[in-house]
Amino acid sequence: MTQTTDTDRVLIFDTTLRDGEQSPGATMTHEEKLEIAGLLDEMGVDIIEAGFPIASEGDFNAVAEIAKNSRNSVICGLARAHFADIDRCWEAVRHAAQPRIHTFIGTSPLHRAIPNLTMDEMATRIHETVTHARNLCDNVQWSPMDATRTEWDYLARVVEIAIKAGATTINIPDTVGYTAPVESADLIRRLIAEVPGAEDVIFSTHCHNDLGMATANSLAAVAGGARQIECTINGLGERAGNTALEEIVMALKVRHDIMPWSTGVDTTKIMNISRRVATVSGFPVQFNKAIVGKNAFAHESGIHQDGMLKNAETFEIMRPEDVGLTESNLVMGKHSGRAALRDKLNQLGYEVGDNQLKDIFVRFKELADRKKEVYDEDLIALMRVGEDSENDRLQILTMKVVCGTGGPAEATVEMEIDGKEVTATAHGDGPVDASFKAIREIHPNNAHLQLYQVHAVTEGTDAQATVSVRLEEDGMIATGQSASTDTVVASAKAYVNALNRLLTRRDKAGPGSDAREISYKDVS
């Protein structure tokens, strides 16, 4: 089956769950992957690359379940140029109504040296593996990794081989963010013009942001004839990240006058999924990030504010509501009732059942008693960050911290571990350090603290602090988060949240198992 698309339609291929999750520390749980996939499917993403099935049993299970639950999107899995990878990928994605196999191999001189293959040997492998994939699935994507640093003659040769072997989509990755817009457009344009069979396939672009040009390079590739863009939510990805989905979609919408191509993405769902990906990945969005940053629609300059009051279009080229950002901000307080809370959560993109609302309402009232004013961002943090699970093996019951300028800080922490209450006191270089040491006395561990990050949810001295903690232990990485008006409490709960995730992954992996069975940090 030859896959076609309208000449003015650009397919959005989201790889947040695969390439985005490869970003060190961005590992998501099984449940979080399913949730993000559901949001992507609902917002109109054409293709979801759900993971790398052969990487681990967990990745396989996540891809398979996403495939079973998909309603609208094509579900894709990644596979190296090996029969075993491709078979495993097919086993995972075959459950989808619209499955796709994406297989790749590094074609630049640097990448050819890794498997120590000659050009001819690699060409043979490409033919054999793409043919094998096409025999399993009629929707096959092939990528020459590091294509932008591959010799032109060889790139054209292997693209032709992949097309003849049955690939329906040819993706051209700028794996290390090396190319520039004019080169990106010319490369796609030349491949379409000179490679036999190019008119029968869709060309795709996959750009990294090492030089800050991922979005520009992707749009240039579309101008050159590509009709699929690979991207991630918030630009999540290795090193400087990938092309940001929100930037691509909004650029095509706002500048449709000079870029006459469209997508099927519901842009009003952008902010909700951006916030969720930031939460589950532990990678907060920078304040001045295009489209989804906190300051993207903020105006402080007097001239700008004056212009906005007279006509919003003077300094805004798109409306906040176009990306799902609510205009109202301060409407909730300690006197608000359940109906008002449910309505506000619906405005923010959350649909909650009666039992869930009951739990959220209790926590909302506790927050409202501590804060004078409850903002939208506070409610989002309440919904998304640091919700203690009744099934967690480790739970903080009480904390007492003493600190000041006269000496080391002291923290006394009471915890419940597998139903047993334990208390410990420790000293440290500051209240957070003392709290972490007390927790380690209660629950000894060898986890290495890779990241400790604090940011205020809103303004003011009573603002909630959202804390992210990333831990690494025996090759497994877990990110914990929590929010509280007390930064030390939020820090301790985020630390315990990460420890619980490590325990869960260790339990699922079994004795002596490694959660990541193979290394796949170097793909496309």
CA distance 244 to 241: 8
> Which residues, including other chains, have CB under 8 Å from residue 171's CB and lie 6 or more apart?
102, 104, 141, 142, 143, 203, 204, 205, 206, 228, 230, 524
Angle at 236 between CA 381 and CA 498, to 5 degrees: 50
242 marked among binding-site residues: yes
Angle at 359 between CA 356 and CA 365, to 5 degrees: 130
CA distance 432 to 86: 47
208 marked among binding-site residues: yes
Please, is 120 exposed, middle or buried when counting C-beta atoms within 10 Å of its C-beta (0-12, 13-18, 19+)?
exposed
Q: Is 460 helix (H, G, I), strand (E, B) or coil?
A: coil
- How is residue 81 annotated by DSSP? S
CA distance 311 to 492: 46
Q: Tell me the two tokens of residue 336.
A: 């608000």
CA distance 506 to 245: 33
Extended strands (E) in 403-512: 409-417, 420-428, 448-456, 465-473, 476-484
Burial call 457-494: b when 16+ CB within 10 Å, e when fewer: bbeeeebbbbbbbbbbbeebbbbbbbbbbebbbbbbbb
Cβ pair 401, 488 in contact under 8 A? yes
Q: Tell me the two tokens of residue 44.
A: 């109109």
> Which residues, including other chains, have CB under 8 Å from residue 205's CB and lie 6 or more apart?
171, 172, 174, 184, 188, 217, 218, 221, 222, 226, 228, 229, 230, 243
Q: How many CB atoms lie within 10 A of CB 249?
A: 26
Angle at 520 between CA 516 and CA 524, to 5 degrees: 155
Query: Residues forming the annotated binding site for Mn(2+)?
Result: 19, 206, 208, 242
Query: Residues forming the annotated binding site?
Result: 19, 206, 208, 242
